[in-house]
């Protein structure tokens, strides 16, 4: 058997993916259902020369990973809903100061303390708009243990390449489900590291506006002495009140991901040409959806499937195409329709968007999706 074959849960796959991506700094705070990530890394990171620290609170953990990243380390934290709320101000800081960091949110029922050990998908909008102000952010939503590993690596690659906070959004089912996985050889992985400046320190503009829209990043201690602030700043990194400079900086910040949408946005499609019904889903609800699809097939009902992998930026264009030949789209999700709104916006009025929602801490049963499919016929 391949020595990299394991039976593991999604949370452990996240921890191992982080290590294989080059993560050498983790700061966190205990919270169910994400704590296995911290536990695994508290054991693994010291073995490989990395740093693990359990901070005094969620806010501190978010601050610490930003500080560590600025010093050159690939850095991650993991949490669940209540902690994710607490981290939001500093996620905004990472966004405006363009510090690469990875935040894992293993979603549980909310709001507030909610349903600590039960699954939910109620944080998908918070992942996009949790911090104040317009800002860029990437969010990935795995649906299996192996994908939790892969997407954690992708999250680091994207954070490093685009200088943006990347959120890996699991739900409790994906975090805790055990599956057999064979992990790839570390040497075979595509690993991206942040672009460093090739200018001498005296010419370095830490927030330069060039064609790439992604400024090269010097690490603290590398001889490039510069200023980092959460205030709106100009190309030098210092705060500015000059409206032209503010506009230039915020325009670059908020459009930098648009330039790379083709490589950021990932999704899985299974289009049946004859189908009039499609399902758009993500995370553990995608697993219920696949089961429902098999049940539909046994009844000779054609159903197309679109599984969201990159949640943010939202795959609006791909979904518009997906909806073209459909009359109905069903969106099963463990919330009251947060992504269904986005799907409606993407496909327009020609397709009726139907919801299958659950917020009681139970997964969606395939029969519930099948019933909705049959209502469409």
Q: How far is the CB of 72 from other proteins (least distance, A)?
A: 6
Q: How far is the CB of 267 from other proteins (least distance, A)?
A: 34
| CB nearer to other proteins: pick between 56 and 298 | 56
Q: Among residues 93, 59, 69, 237, which one has the least CA distance to residue 155?
A: 69
Could you tell me if 170 and 143 are in contact, meaning their C-beta atoms sit under 8 angstroms apart?
A: no
| CB nearer to other proteins: pick between 9 and 69 | 69
Q: Counting Cβ atoms within 10 Å, is residue 348 exposed (0-12), middle (13-18) or buried (19+)? A: exposed
Instruction: List residues binding other proteins (CB under 8 A).
Output: 24-25, 27, 46-49, 51, 53, 55-57, 59-73, 75, 89-90, 93, 219-223, 225-231, 238-239
Q: How far is the CB of 208 from other proteins (least distance, A)?
A: 18
Q: How far is the CB of 56 from other proteins (least distance, A)?
A: 4
| CB nearer to other proteins: pick between 101 and 311 | 101
CA 152 to the chain's CA centroid: 9
Q: How far is the CB of 71 from other proteins (least distance, A)?
A: 4
| CB nearer to other proteins: pick between 67 and 361 | 67
Could you tell me if 21 and 153 are in contact, meaning their C-beta atoms sit under 8 angstroms apart?
A: yes
Q: How far is the CB of 131 from other proteins (least distance, A)?
A: 11
| CB nearer to other proteins: pick between 227 and 299 | 227
CA dihedral 197, 201, 204, 207 (to 10 degrees): 80
In a 3-state reduction of DSSP, which class is residue 360?
A: coil
Q: List b or e across 311-335, with b for residues whose CB sees 16 or more CB atoms inside 10 angstroms.
A: bbbbbeebbeebbeebebbbbbbbb
| CB nearer to other proteins: pick between 59 and 376 | 59
Q: List b or e across 153-166, with b for residues whose CB sees 16 or more CB atoms inside 10 angstroms.
A: bbbbbbbbbbbbbb
């Amino acid at each position: 058997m391949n020595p990299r074959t394991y039976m593991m849960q999604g949370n452990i796959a996240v921890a191992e993916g982080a290590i294989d991506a080059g993560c050498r700094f983790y700061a966190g705070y205990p919270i169910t259902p994400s704590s296995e990530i911290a536990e695994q890394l508290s054991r693994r990171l010291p073995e490989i020369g990395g740093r693990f620290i359990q901070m005094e609170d969620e806010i501190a953990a978010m601050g610490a990973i930003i500080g560590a990243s600025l010093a050159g380390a690939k850095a991650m934290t993991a949490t669940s809903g209540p902690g994710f709320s607490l981290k939001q101000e500093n996620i905004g800081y990472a966004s405006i100061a363009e510090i690469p960091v990875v935040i894992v949110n293993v979603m549980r029922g909310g709001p507030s303390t909610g349903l600590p050990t039960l699954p939910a998908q109620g944080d998908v909008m918070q992942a996009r708009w949790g911090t104040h102000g317009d800002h860029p952010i990437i969010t990935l939503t795995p649906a299996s243990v192996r994908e939790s590993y892969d997407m954690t690596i992708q999250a680091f690659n994207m954070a490093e390449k685009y200088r943006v906070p990347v959120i890996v959004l699991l739900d409790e089912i994906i975090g805790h489900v055990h599956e057999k996985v064979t992990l790839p050889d570390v040497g075979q992985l595509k690993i991206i590291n942040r672009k460093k400046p090739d200018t001498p320190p005296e010419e370095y503009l830490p927030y330069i506006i060039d064609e790439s829209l992604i400024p090269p990043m010097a690490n603290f201690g590398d001889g490039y002495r510069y200023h980092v602030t959460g205030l709106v700043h100009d190309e030098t990194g210092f705060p500015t009140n000059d409206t032209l400079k503010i506009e230039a900086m915020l325009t670059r910040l908020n459009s930098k991901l648009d330039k790379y949408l083709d490589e950021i946005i990932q999704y899985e499609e299974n289009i049946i040409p004859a189908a009039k019904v499609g399902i758009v889903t993500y995370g553990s609800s995608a697993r219920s959806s696949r089961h429902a699809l098999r049940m539909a097939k046994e009844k000779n009902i054609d159903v197309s499937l679109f599984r969201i992998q990159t949640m943010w930026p939202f795959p609006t264009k791909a979904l518009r195409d997906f909806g073209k030949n459909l009359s109905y789209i069903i969106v099963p999700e463990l919330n009251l329709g947060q992504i269904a709104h986005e799907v409606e916006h993407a496909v327009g009025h020609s397709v009726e968007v139907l919801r299958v929602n659950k917020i009681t801490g139970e997964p969606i049963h395939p029969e519930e999706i099948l019933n909705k499919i049959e209502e469409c016929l």
